[in-house]
Amino acid sequence: MNVVVLNEVRKGFYLDSVALMRLSREVAGSPGVIEAALMMGTPSNAAIMRNAGLLEEGAVVKGNDLVIAVKAESESAAREALDKAIKSLDKPKTQGEAQAAWRPHSIAAAVKARPEINLALISVPGEFAAAEARKALNRGLHVLMFSDNVSLEDELSLKQQARAAGLLMMGPDCGTAVIGGAPLAFANRIRRGRIGIIGASGTGTQEVSCLISEAGAGISHAIGVGGRDLKKDIGGITTLMAIDAFDADPETDHVVLISKPPHPDVARSVLERIGLSRKSFTVCFIGASEIELPPNARFSPTLKGAAELALGHQKIGAGFDANAVASRLPRNGRGGIEGLFAGGTLCAEAQVILAAAGRRVTSNAAIPGVVKLGVEPNAGRDRLIDLGDDEYTRGRPHPMIDPSVRDDALRAALRNRDLSVVLLDLVLGYGAHADPAGHLTRIVADRGQDAPALVASVVGTEQDPQGRSAQVSKLEQAGILVAPSNAQACELAVAIVQNAGR
């Protein structure tokens, strides 16, 4: 094959990372294209593109340059795909579209145009994110930083500045928040209610908020804190401020705290602060053993359990019987389970549930008590993969945006006769793919009768752009088993392999 690489560099041309991911996906789907990327030319992005063979030899790019890169099977295919990207970037807008799409070019301009705003969402390459966040804080704005690749030193400095000013610094790497009913970044359209969420996990926050909403209750606010806030280096600064905020919020009666197990010193200070609150709490440290809690708090090691506690012990999917479903299935495979997850915290929850059922598990997102995944799967162990990990998304969109990131691994799993079950998750909402179920069903349509069972959960609500019931219906019509929650999907997977071993 005569592989051709073409580039175009736009000097001083900026688009946010989500927009670039979407356009990258469209270009990568063009005929004859092997790989494509639209990325800002930061040193880390340039390294990613060079390692992927997407930069022409001798190409020189800078951090404020937009790089369009295409690798294709022929000169004509590469040229057509590059032209497609350029046309999308240069597409003229009607007057109405231009007015609707107007964006200020700086935080200063935004504040001048809309002096009533009080929150800035930062989605720029990590090299520039801290500086933009500091500008926002200096102008009295709360900050949600979607950007990642920000140093711990910068995160600590920004959060200390925000705390001194009485402002929330959500992130870096804050993927989800819902403030005053407005979904931000990857979030869902959920009911308003009197349950607050503090989340060091984006997909964990989405799962709990959607389970609560679909059960008929609602969320006052969901405050994301970023994945590192509860590390010793940061000390839970934003988490503690979020507890203060909910304590003072008359619209919130109960608060759910979601995180992987924090550093013990940070956990101690957070739990002490919870004990001083006038509100009741559910603490969900994924995979932690039972912990000593203040009287106003209850503990769950899983997301489903946290949602049920917040709902007053109301059961999620009360009519779902995993053993009954499993007993009706043919006994395929040799009892192995493989999980291919778009949501990192959903992957972590699966680890907890499978390990509690006595399964031997490897994962690339290991939590305490779970074996770290190696290059090759370990014989006799179930394998759970977080496909949103940097290893799988360098130079590519996140699988919540582009579900094709999962395609090759899924095809391989369907051919693996050691497997009895493949576990999958679909995450809906704003920012996510428009039809992940439609994409998934096309990939599995030609699987054989002896392929492993497909078990899925769908994180979302009926009000989401994709519509949860419509997505579930597409999966079920394709013979995919859909559980009410990620936890119950894992329980069904275990029931299937136990049935296969009888």
Judge if 298 and 364 occupy the same domain.
no
5-28 residue pLDDT tens? 999 999 877 776 667 777 887 888
Residue ranges of the chain with per-residue pLDDT less than 70: 1, 16-18, 92-103, 365-380, 390, 393-396, 500-502
Given 289, 310, 331, the domain boundary residue is 310
160-174 residue pLDDT tens? 999 999 999 999 999
CA distances from 191 to 129, 183, 218, 486 (A): 32, 11, 5, 20
Per-residue model confidence (pLDDT) at position 102: 60
Q: Determine, yes or no, domain membership for 161.
A: no
Judge if 471 and 395 occupy the same domain.
yes
Q: Determine, yes or no, domain membership for 156.
A: no
Judge if 290 and 381 occupy the same domain.
no
Judge if 376 and 461 occupy the same domain.
yes
Given 276, 310, 344, the domain boundary residue is 310
Q: Determine, yes or no, domain membership for 372.
A: yes
Greatest CA span in the chain, whole angstroms? 69
Domain of 196, in residue numbers = 174-310
Judge if 269 and 359 occupy the same domain.
no
Per-residue model confidence (pLDDT) at position 244: 98
Number of domains in the chain: 3
Judge if 273 and 343 occupy the same domain.
no
Judge if 179 and 62 occupy the same domain.
no
Q: State the burial class of residue 291 (Cβ atoms within 10 Å of its Cβ: 0-12, 13-18, 19+).
A: middle
Judge if 301 and 448 occupy the same domain.
no
Distance of CA 496 to the CA centre of its chain: 27
Q: Determine, yes or no, domain membership for 107.
A: no
Q: Round to whole Å and give the CA distance between 486 and 455.
A: 10
Judge if 303 and 357 occupy the same domain.
no
Per-residue model confidence (pLDDT) at position 430: 92
Judge if 299 and 365 occupy the same domain.
no
Q: Determine, yes or no, domain membership for 260.
A: yes
CA distances from 94 to 66, 91, 148 (A): 24, 10, 34
Q: Catalogue the E-assigned strands of 311-413.
A: 336-341, 361-363, 371-372, 382-386
Judge if 302 and 363 occupy the same domain.
no
Judge if 399 and 424 occupy the same domain.
yes
